[in-house]
Amino acid sequence: MFRTPMRQMATAARQSLKIGLIPADGIGKEVIPAAKAVLEALGSDIPKPEFVPLLAGWEVFTRGGNALPHETVDALKECDAALFGAVSSPTRRVTGYSSPIVQLRKELDLYANVRPVASVAANPGGKPDVDLVVVRENTECLYVKQEQITPTENGREARAIRLITERASSRIGKMAFDIALGRPRKQVTIIHKSNVLSVTDGLFRETVRAVPALPEINGAYDNVKIEEQIVDSAVYRLFREPEIYDVMVAPNLYGDILSDAAAALVGSLGLVPSVNAGDSFVMGEPVHGSAPDIEGKGIANPLAAIRSAALMLRFQGHTVGADRIDRAVEQVIREGEVLTPDLGGTSKTQEVLDAVLKKL
């Protein structure tokens, strides 16, 4: 996959690992316990885990009017890392509601969303030769949620502010280059739309391209090849020839769309992990949503959450434990005997978890 980014936190020497668990909504309550069970099964390959159950999500909002209680944020600041399940944010505007995952990224300065997407032999419906990482800026773009609606003589007019800063673009660029250094191809593709959005996307593109020349980098990225791609062309080429991509770095909205699209190339969103990472904290998060249509049926795919736990460990320097999880998951997928319905199988969540635990 990739080595631990060189600027990330190092916790491998600690005797214990305090992990906040936020199942949130829907199948998050089914897949996060599976990830917890896998972490517990690693034994001495990671510091002894201590789990802290925490609340957030739409259901919490409907009960108490706050989707992200202050107690959750305060508790996370005392943790080493966290796992977040999924959130059922409404598609309509609800007064007082704000997505807890978006808010958490800001509260904890988790400026990078890192989503590796790789095919495994025997992936049902998977496309061969997919091995890429989407590195998504996590704190700005249109997701600053500065919107307003104004009545006009021609009807209502809605506007949204899009924020791109040099600081955020530079540090997400460094994250992308760090990750590329640990991969065989050592290539970064900058995703943008600066042919139309010449100011905002132009700043993102120029800033990321300038990262290797920064004085503090001291030539560390000289061996990393820089490519760039217009976002709509990038989506097309992602489906036609995914093998051309290694590390893709993008503003928030583009990265969100691209990583979900890339998941279709490997069979299911239920396979794709991610982490929200800052310089001192990391939170694993499966890419899939809350899937209310299958909630409570016991058929949710736990592999993305389990892989997110491995990615969380990798960012903290616990590579032995992370490697064990990744190998176990890949063996289960490759054998193809225990698969949930999203992958064409009939297995239950618990059966998939049991298969991973057996491989461990």
pLDDT in tens, 79-131: 999 999 999 988 888 989 989 998 999 899 999 999 999 988 666 666 667 89
pLDDT over threshold 70, residue 226: yes
Cα(178)–Cα(276) distance, integer angstroms: 15
294 and 357 together in one domain: yes
183 and 255 together in one domain: yes
**Distances 177 to 50, 105, 160 between C-alpha atoms, Å:** 32, 21, 30
With b for 16 or more beta-carbon neighbours within 10 A and e for fewer, the 204-235 pattern comes to bbebbeebbeeeeeeeebeebebeebbbeebb
The catalytic position among 260, 279, 323, 354 is 260
Segment 311-335 shows an average pLDDT of 95
pLDDT score for 329: 96
- Nearest by Cα to 32 from 228, 273, 211, 323: 273
146 and 217 together in one domain: yes
Domain containing residue 85: CATH number: 3.40.718.10
Cα(196)–Cα(188) distance, integer angstroms: 22
The catalytic position among 193, 245, 246, 254 is 193
Is there a catalytic annotation at residue 222? no
Cα(234)–Cα(214) distance, integer angstroms: 27
pLDDT score for 6: 43
Tokens standing for residue 357? 């635990």
147 and 258 together in one domain: yes
Number of domains in the chain: 2
Predicted confidence band at 4 (pLDDT cuts at 50, 70, 90)? low
- Flag whether 330 is in a domain: yes
Q: What is the mean pLDDT of the chain?
A: 93
Segment 283-297 shows an average pLDDT of 95
- Nearest by Cα to 132 from 187, 87, 83, 181: 187
Tokens standing for residue 274? 């991610």
Segment 204-220 shows an average pLDDT of 96
pLDDT in tens, 160-204: 999 999 999 999 999 999 999 999 999 999 999 999 999 999 999
Cα(28)–Cα(267) distance, integer angstroms: 20
Domain that holds residue 27: 1-107+280-360
131 and 239 together in one domain: yes
40 and 97 together in one domain: yes
Q: With pLDDT > 70 as the criterion, what percentage of the chain qualifies? A: 94
Contact 242/262 with Cβ under 8 angstroms?
yes
pLDDT over threshold 80, residue 132: yes
- Flag whether 160 is in a domain: yes
93 and 216 together in one domain: no
Strand partners, 284: 83, 275
Tokens standing for residue 312? 């969380």
pLDDT score for 126: 65
pLDDT score for 56: 97
pLDDT score for 335: 92
The catalytic position among 111, 143, 245, 254 is 143
- Flag whether 352 is in a domain: yes
pLDDT in tens, 42-70: 999 999 999 999 999 999 999 999 999 99
165 and 205 together in one domain: yes
Is there a catalytic annotation at residue 143? yes
pLDDT in tens, 242-257: 999 999 999 999 999 9
The catalytic position among 145, 232, 297, 358 is 232
pLDDT score for 127: 66
Cα(245)–Cα(3) distance, integer angstroms: 18
- Flag whether 312 is in a domain: yes
174 and 52 together in one domain: no
Task: Return the H-helix or E-strand segment holding 191.
Answer: strand 187-192
1 and 89 together in one domain: yes
261 and 301 together in one domain: no
Collapsed DSSP state (helix, strand, coil) of residue 86: strand
pLDDT in tens, 138-159: 999 998 888 899 999 999 999 9
Final residue belonging to a domain, choices 266, 290, 314:
266
pLDDT over threshold 70, residue 1: no
Is there a catalytic annotation at residue 232? yes
Final residue belonging to a domain, choices 208, 240, 266:
266
Question: What is the Cα gyration radius of the chain?
Answer: 20
- Flag whether 117 is in a domain: no
Residue type, 262: A
239 and 318 together in one domain: no
- Flag whether 121 is in a domain: no
Is there a catalytic annotation at residue 111? no
Predicted confidence band at 263 (pLDDT cuts at 50, 70, 90)? confident
Q: How many CA atoms lie within 13 A of 339 on its CB side?
A: 19
Is there a catalytic annotation at residue 260? yes
pLDDT over threshold 70, residue 3: no
- Flag whether 113 is in a domain: no
Task: Return the H-helix or E-strand segment holding 114.
Answer: strand 112-118
Final residue belonging to a domain, choices 266, 298, 327:
266
- Flag whether 226 is in a domain: yes
pLDDT over threshold 50, residue 286: yes
The catalytic position among 131, 201, 256, 326 is 256
pLDDT score for 37: 98
Strand order in the sheet with 81-86: 48-53, 16-24, 81-86, 282-284, 275-277, 112-118, 131-137, 247-250, 187-192, 225-230
